[in-house]
Amino acid sequence: MNRFNWLIKRELWENRSIWLGMPIAAGILVVASLFGFHGVQELTLDPRFTPDKQAKIVAAIYLGITMLFFIWAFFQSFFYAVDALYGDRRDRSVLFWKSLPLSDSETVLSKAATALVVVPLVAMASSVIAQWGVAIVGSIRLGNTLLLDPTALLAGVAVSLYIGVIFALWYAPVVGYLLAWSAWAPRNPFLYAVLPPVILSIAEKLLFHTNYIGTLVGSRLTGVLTNGLGAERDGAFFGVQVSEDQVTVGGPEQLLGLMGDFFTDPALWAGLVAAALLFAAAVWIRRYRDESL
């Protein structure tokens, strides 16, 4: 376990953007909030919105902040994973690491854990910092405690934790796929990872006039939104709908319902099985591949 923790620390040393980028963005967002809140100030004066509706809109704002950081986390994990093993071969550091008493399994799993655990944890912490910072600054600017509504703040924390968990589970096969290509690609692993599903999807459309591959890839990339947060085509998102005189935001029962649907989704468990196979493939490739590029 100490060796594995050390490997995680190594990834953080070599990829400082993982733990620096989002916290800095959270600070910038809090500072930027000093110049905002005009719309929120009008909201507090609008008689159509009762205090309950106002609190729901605040919860929707915090949900939006959370999603900004997890969208960042997705791209952070994607580009990290696709270069993680290739980078070791590019700078020849793989020869040094293989000379140490470290197994290929430990190396691959440490990189997978960085993409699926560390990055979401940083996103969770950054989103909560941003929410609370915006709440404090906004309350000072507005001269009231609307943004400090405890229910909205706790909902923001709960949703951040929930998205962090489903992020790791749902994107596990994506990270496994990227690591496998990263371990094998002779050059530019991004193109090697992206082109096959694109080419296969286009070929399927031309030959069979179907789109099963494109649908599968799309559902895996957007499943956190659709499967985990209930995003729908009509604009509902985690039960959030805001109109001129109507505001709805998912409460605890909404979150529990989404959790139940997500954890009983066969696509989740099929994806985890695929992830295990892809991680094993990445380990095998790293172990036996010629290290020359």
- Predicted confidence band of residue 6 (pLDDT cuts 50, 70, 90): confident
User: What is d(CA 9, CA 15) in angstroms, rounded to the nearest whole number?
Assistant: 10
Least confident of 13-27, 40-54, 68-82, 231-245: 231-245
Write the pLDDT tens digit of every residue in 68-85: 999 999 999 999 999 988
- Predicted confidence band of residue 105 (pLDDT cuts 50, 70, 90): confident
DSSP the chain: -HHHHHHHHHHHHH-THHHHHHHHHHHHHHHHGGG--HHHHHHHH-TTS-HHHHHHHHHHHHHHHHHHHHHHHHHHHHHHHHHHHHHHHHTTHHHHHHTSS--HHHHHHHHHHIIIIIHHHHHHHHHHHHHHHHHHHHHHHHTSSGGG-HHHHHHHHHHHHHHHHHHHHHTHHHHHHHHHHHHH-SS-HHHHHHHHHHHHHHHHHHHHS--HHHHHHHHHHHHIIIIIH---TTS-BTTBEE-SS-EE---HHHHHHHHHHHHT-HHHHHHHHHHHHHHHHHHHHHHHS----
- Predicted confidence band of residue 290 (pLDDT cuts 50, 70, 90): low
Structure-model confidence comparison of residues 114 and 40, the more confident one: 114
Write the pLDDT tens digit of every residue in 171-209: 999 999 999 999 998 889 999 999 999 999 999 999 988
Least confident of 166-170, 201-205, 231-235, 262-266: 231-235
Q: Which residues pair with 242 in a beta bridge?
A: 247
User: What is d(CA 35, CA 137) in angstroms, rounded to the nearest whole number?
Assistant: 10
Contact present, 54 and 43 (Cβ < 8 Å): yes
Statement: residue 117 has pLDDT above 60: yes
What integer pLDDT is reported at residue 255 of this predicted model? 67
Least confident of 37-46, 52-61, 210-219, 239-248: 239-248
Average pLDDT, the chain: 82
Statement: residue 237 has pLDDT above 50: no
User: What is d(CA 114, CA 107) in angstroms, rounded to the nearest whole number?
Assistant: 11
- Residue 290, number of CB atoms within 10 A of its CB: 7
Share above pLDDT 90 across residues of the chain, in percent, rounded to a whole number: 37
Q: Residue count of the chain, please give it.
A: 293
What integer pLDDT is reported at residue 234 of this predicted model? 42
Locate tokens 């959030």: which residue?
Answer: 240
What integer pLDDT is reported at residue 88 of this predicted model? 78
User: What is d(CA 120, CA 142) in angstroms, rounded to the nearest whole number?
Assistant: 32
Q: Kindly state the average pLDDT of the residues 16-42.
A: 80
Statement: residue 235 has pLDDT above 50: no
- Residue 120, number of CB atoms within 10 A of its CB: 25
Structure-model confidence comparison of residues 14 and 288, the more confident one: 14
Q: Kindly state the average pLDDT of the residues 41-48.
A: 56
Q: Where are the domains of the chain?
A: 2-288
Q: What is the pTM of this model?
A: 0.86
Choose among 166, 193, 163: nearest CA to 178.
193
Share above pLDDT 70 across residues of the chain, in percent, rounded to a whole number: 78
Q: Which residues pair with 124 in a beta bridge?
A: none
